[in-house]
Amino acid sequence: MQPYKRKPRTGGSMVVLGGWLFADLLLGLAMLFAVATTVGAPPPTPTPTATPDELATAEANFAVQIAANDATTEALQDQIAQNASVQQTQEALIESQDAANARATEAAQIEATRAAQTDSERATADALATQDAVVAQATIEALSTEQAAAAQDQTALNDQLATTEARATEEAAAGIDTQATIDALNNQIAQNSDALATSEAQQGALQATNEAIQAEANATTVALQEQVAASSLNSQYVTLTTQVDLSGVLAGQDSAISDAEDALHDVLDPYVEAGSCHIGFALISSAAPDVPQGSQLSREIGTIMQNEFPELMPIAADGSAGELPTFPIADPGVTPTGQVELILLFNVGCQPAS
């Protein structure tokens, strides 16, 4: 007997193997039962079991059946493919026959229509067909001519492209010298720009200097005009009257002098506030019992005006307050005593504040 060789199991062999295993299990249980109940009895006769050859035979038969089924399936698939090819061939033949029938029907209809037409109608139809053929031929010829012209244009464009490329090559070769010239011109332009900027800066500085000189000249002119205006006296005099303490001022009393200053401020402050008024000449007349006292009071009032109102004094040559020209007179016997009358000549343009 050859030794048993296990083969790979398939679905069918597993069923057969399961049956054999179940039988072996039952046989094993029976043997255990016999051993347990017959101690010392002679061993029973072994029950015959399936040999490995029968299992291999069953597996081989099953494999043969599977191969047969696969062959049948492939044969059926080939038959189906052949049937599909035959059907496609039949459909193509039917479509070809239908097209031939349609062409035959169309030709028959055309022939029948032509047979039904009169000679004149057939001549007209032939003329139209000829005209269509002529038009079609003319269209074909026109397209051919257009294609020829396009080909000629393409040739001309190719020639022009070649010429342009050659010119570009030449220009590229000469571009080095041209670039050098351009660079030189750019450098010259930059130098000119720097020179122009320098010139503009110098011109700006000169303009600023001229403007400063002009401003200074204008200021000097204005100052001179103001000085001239301040020096030019208005022909219309102004008369102002105030009252002081005759005896106290002549005696040099501080209170009397302070009161005299306040009295003068009352009449002269509007001219001080104007800011442009200067006294060019003052005629001072004082009422007193006699001439010496009147003349002395007029001189004292002139001194007070010189010290208390420097802004109203004439402008000296150096721009400072000048000496007030006065002419003191006396009004003896005039009452009330101590009354002072100021007859003043101001500069042209002086307008007292309201």
| Distance from C-alpha of 256 to C-alpha of 262, rounded to nearest angstrom | 10
Cα-based distances in Å from 329 to 78, 298, 349: 163, 6, 28
In the block, which residue shows the tokens 């009358």?
Answer: 341
Give pLDDT, residue 4.
47
Q: How is domain 233-346 classified at the architecture level of CATH?
A: 2-Layer Sandwich (3.30)
Which is nearest to 50 in space by CA: 11, 26, 28, 19?
19
DSSP state letter for 312: G
pLDDT, one tens digit for every residue, the chain (354 residues): 455 455 555 555 665 566 767 777 777 777 777 656 655 555 556 555 555 566 677 677 778 877 876 776 677 677 667 766 756 766 776 676 777 677 767 766 767 776 776 777 677 767 776 676 666 577 667 766 776 776 676 677 677 767 767 775 676 666 666 677 677 778 878 887 887 787 688 777 767 876 875 777 566 555 555 555 545 788 899 999 999 999 999 999 999 999 999 999 999 999 999 988 999 999 999 999 999 999 999 999 999 999 999 999 998 877 787 899 999 999 999 999 999 999 999 999 899 987
| Distance from C-alpha of 342 to C-alpha of 237, rounded to nearest angstrom | 10
Please tell me whether the peptide bond between 336 and the residue prior to it is cis, using omega within 30 degrees of 0: yes
Other CB atoms within a 10 A radius of the CB of residue 310 amount to 13
Which residues neighbour 331 within 8 Å (Cβ) at sequence distance 6 or greater?
285, 286, 287, 288, 294, 341
Q: Is the dihedral of CA 129, 135, 139, 145 positive or negative?
A: positive
| Residue type for position 108 | A
Give pLDDT, residue 185.
72
Q: What is the pTM of this model?
A: 0.38
Contact status, residue 272 vs residue 311, Cβ threshold 8 Å:
yes
Which residues neighbour 241 within 8 Å (Cβ) at sequence distance 6 or greater?
267, 339, 340, 341, 342
